[in-house]
């Protein structure tokens, strides 16, 4: 790891609020979450049939037991390359805050995520749907600390503008203290955190680096 990579990691020292997005993106596929999925993705909502905005932009943020967030960003880079980069989960900590470690074993991926007060959160995900160059979906397995699923979709932007990347995350607040903590974070700033992760991904893909205003490699 060269110093740029180390710096990137150092920049992503834990900050309250972004665990969930990381979790979501880190997390893999069951039938359980399917209801929110269909609704969050549906173009025309039942409760508001005249509106073609995506469900994830609805004023309400709960779909069944799940909280849902999503964000789109256009990246001036070929679709297949973006897909390949994301599909190699080992790359994700370079732009995701909090992801401390990623261990890929076939279909299963284990994520260690920096939690509050030095506590680690463990999530194991299974890929539920990977379509080359188009989308990657995942869902957490039962051994995980958190019940989550998500997917990231890649499609060509119009008129050669690159690729539209859409990330969708759903998460079910677990019980207990951890659950309350996570729920409070998630309800506060899920969209914000999703936005941050995707913007870092965009920076890295478009410019080869992640912008920082620091003018020293190490804290002075």
Footprint of other proteins (CB under 8 A): 4, 7, 15, 74, 76, 161-162, 192, 196, 199-200, 202-203, 206-217, 220
* Residue 162 Cβ vs other proteins, minimum distance, rounded to whole Å: 7
- The residue (of 37 and 95) whose beta carbon lies closer to other proteins is 95
CA–CA distance, 120 with 118 (Å, rounded to integer): 7
* Residue 159 Cβ vs other proteins, minimum distance, rounded to whole Å: 11
- The residue (of 53 and 211) whose beta carbon lies closer to other proteins is 211
* Residue 57 Cβ vs other proteins, minimum distance, rounded to whole Å: 15
User: What is the SS3 string spanning 75-129?
Assistant: ECCCHHHHHHHHHCHHHHHHCCCCEEEEEEECCEEEEEEECHHHCEEEEEEEEEE
Give the Cβ contact number of residue 218 at 10 Å. Answer: 9
- With b for 16 or more beta-carbon neighbours within 10 A and e for fewer, the 171-191 pattern comes to bbbbeeebeebbbebbeebbe
- The residue (of 168 and 205) whose beta carbon lies closer to other proteins is 205
CA–CA distance, 182 with 176 (Å, rounded to integer): 10
- The residue (of 51 and 209) whose beta carbon lies closer to other proteins is 209
CA–CA distance, 147 with 58 (Å, rounded to integer): 22
- The residue (of 50 and 160) whose beta carbon lies closer to other proteins is 160
* Residue 180 Cβ vs other proteins, minimum distance, rounded to whole Å: 25
CA–CA distance, 62 with 18 (Å, rounded to integer): 19
* Residue 190 Cβ vs other proteins, minimum distance, rounded to whole Å: 14
């Amino acid at each position: 790891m060269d110093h740029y990579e180390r710096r990137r990691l150092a920049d992503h020292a834990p900050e309250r609020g972004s665990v969930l997005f990381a979790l979501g993106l880190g997390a893999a596929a069951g039938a359980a979450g399917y209801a929110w999925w269909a609704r969050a993705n549906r173009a025309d909502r039942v409760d508001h049939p005249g509106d073609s905005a995506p469900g994830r932009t609805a004023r309400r943020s709960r779909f069944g037991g799940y909280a849902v967030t999503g964000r789109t960003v256009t990246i001036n880079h070929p679709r297949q390359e973006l897909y390949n980069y994301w599909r190699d989960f080992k790359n994700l900590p370079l732009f995701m805050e909090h992801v401390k470690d990623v261990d890929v074993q076939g279909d299963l991926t284990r994520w260690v995520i920096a939690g509050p007060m030095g506590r680690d959160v463990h999530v194991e995900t299974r890929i539920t749907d990977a379509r080359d160059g188009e989308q990657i979906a995942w869902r957490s397995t039962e051994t995980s600390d958190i019940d989550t699923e998500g997917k990231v979709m890649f499609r060509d932007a119009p008129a050669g503008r690159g690729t539209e990347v859409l990330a969708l995350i759903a998460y079910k607040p677990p019980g207990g203290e951890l659950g309350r903590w996570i729920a409070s974070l998630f309800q506060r700033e899920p969209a914000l955190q999703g936005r941050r992760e995707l913007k870092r991904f965009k920076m890295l893909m478009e410019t080869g680096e992640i912008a920082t205003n620091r003018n020293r490699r190490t804290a002075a």
